[in-house]
């Protein structure tokens, strides 16, 4: 039995200071204010993302590798509503990478095109109450669970500045490819410094996440369970105008699938890289 591969895993606008102190001088240019603390603000952006991964399954100690990869384009808008934001994320298109289809066809992937999702967004970037895309198929659902729901970095409530460190724990439930999977992820974040990124001054946030996963499902008429652990290293960037600019990440995981009625244990290893940038 062979398992199909899953697709694993600011502040206000730049203010200008207003004038020259009164010593009888005139005609001076105001000094620009340098933002030191970043937080989300309403914005809109179009993103290009690329995911590539390799899954290795061991049958009788013999490895079988499967590669998966896709390029996707997302339109995002964040607007204010009371004390929170409302986020809208639309999948403009999804394209399979040549030679890395992961068992999918482009026709299946095309069903996700145009899927639009709305969510409540806390001031720290956490998205909840996802709605939309119900008729867009399993590919859209998988991209939603693995990419769109954790789309924005989670910041401290007061915003973030260089030198800040913080942590969070996030639990998610993902149902895909016949597998109902529970993931618990513990992340340690550090804001390192301000630097140019994508033509803008941005705060660089480095995150190291450790996660566990366990679940059960059915494929080819056989019941199975799966469990394992993983580690993800992420570099994310937030502009001083409160706009998310993108990220790069690398992920590795090790797990085991167990098929009870065959008394079979299948070790599974996976590596994955992701990138996201404004286009």
What is the rounded distance in angstroms from the CA atom of residue 118 to the CA atom of residue 132?
6
The torsion angle over the Cα atoms of residues 144, 205, 46 and 231, rounded to 10 degrees, is -30
* Burial 48-72, CB ≥16 within 10 A → b, else e: ebbbbbbbebeeeeeeeebebbbeb
Q: Flag whether pLDDT at 251 surpasses 90.
A: yes
What is the rounded distance in angstroms from the CA atom of residue 152 to the CA atom of residue 124?
9
The torsion angle over the Cα atoms of residues 191, 193, 196 and 202, rounded to 10 degrees, is 40
Q: How confident is the model at residue 32 (pLDDT cuts 50, 70, 90)?
A: low
Asked if 181 and 212 count as a contact pair (C-beta separation under 8 A), the reply is no
Q: Flag whether pLDDT at 256 surpasses 50.
A: yes
pLDDT in tens, 114-148: 889 999 999 999 999 988 876 567 777 778 888 89
Q: Flag whether pLDDT at 82 surpasses 50.
A: yes
Asked if 238 and 153 count as a contact pair (C-beta separation under 8 A), the reply is yes
Q: Flag whether pLDDT at 2 surpasses 90.
A: no
Helix (H) or strand (E) holding 139: helix 137-143
Q: Flag whether pLDDT at 12 surpasses 90.
A: no
pLDDT in tens, 201-249: 999 999 999 999 999 988 778 899 999 999 999 999 999 999 999 999 9
Q: How confident is the model at residue 75 (pLDDT cuts 50, 70, 90)?
A: very high
Q: Pairing state of beta strands 116-121 and 84-101? A: antiparallel
Considering only 4-8, 16-20, 221-225, 237-241, which range has the smallest mean pLDDT?
16-20
In terms of pLDDT, which residue wins out, 238 or 111? 238
What is the rounded distance in angstroms from the CA atom of residue 189 to the CA atom of residue 191?
7
Asked if 219 and 1 count as a contact pair (C-beta separation under 8 A), the reply is yes
DSSP state of 260: G
Question: What's the pLDDT score for residue 18?
Answer: 37
Question: What's the pLDDT score for residue 24?
Answer: 41
């Amino acid at each position: 039995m062979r398992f199909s591969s899953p697709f694993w895993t600011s502040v206000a606008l730049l203010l200008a200071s207003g004038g020259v102190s009164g010593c009888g001088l005139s005609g001076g240019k105001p000094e620009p204010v340098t933002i030191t603390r970043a937080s989300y603000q309403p914005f809109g952006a179009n993103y290009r993302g690329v995911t590539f991964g390799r899954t290795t399954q061991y049958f009788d100690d013999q490895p079988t590798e499967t590669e998966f990869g896709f390029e996707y384009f997302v339109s995002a808008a964040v607007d204010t509503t009371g004390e929170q934001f409302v986020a809208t994320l639309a999948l403009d298109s999804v394209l399979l990478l040549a030679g890395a289809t992961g068992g999918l066809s482009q026709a299946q992937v095309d069903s996700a095109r145009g899927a639009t999702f709305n969510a409540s967004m806390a001031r720290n970037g956490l998205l909840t109450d996802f709605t939309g895309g119900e008729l867009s198929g399993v590919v859209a659902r998988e991209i939603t669970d693995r990419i769109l729901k954790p789309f924005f970095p989670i910041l401290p409530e007061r915003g973030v500045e260089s030198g800040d460190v913080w942590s969070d724990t996030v639990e998610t439930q993902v149902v895909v490819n016949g597998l109902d999977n529970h993931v618990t992820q513990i992340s340690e974040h550090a804001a390192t410094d301000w630097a140019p990124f994508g033509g803008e001054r941005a705060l660089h946030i480095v995150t190291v996440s450790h996660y566990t996963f366990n679940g059960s499902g059915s494929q080819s008429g056989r019941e199975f369970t799966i469990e394992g652990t993983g580690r993800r290293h992420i570099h994310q960037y937030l502009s001083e105008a409160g706009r998310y600019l993108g990220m790069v990440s690398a992920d590795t995981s090790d797990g085991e699938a167990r098929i009870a009625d065959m008394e079979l244990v299948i070790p599974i290893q996976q590596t994955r890289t992701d990138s996201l940038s404004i286009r």
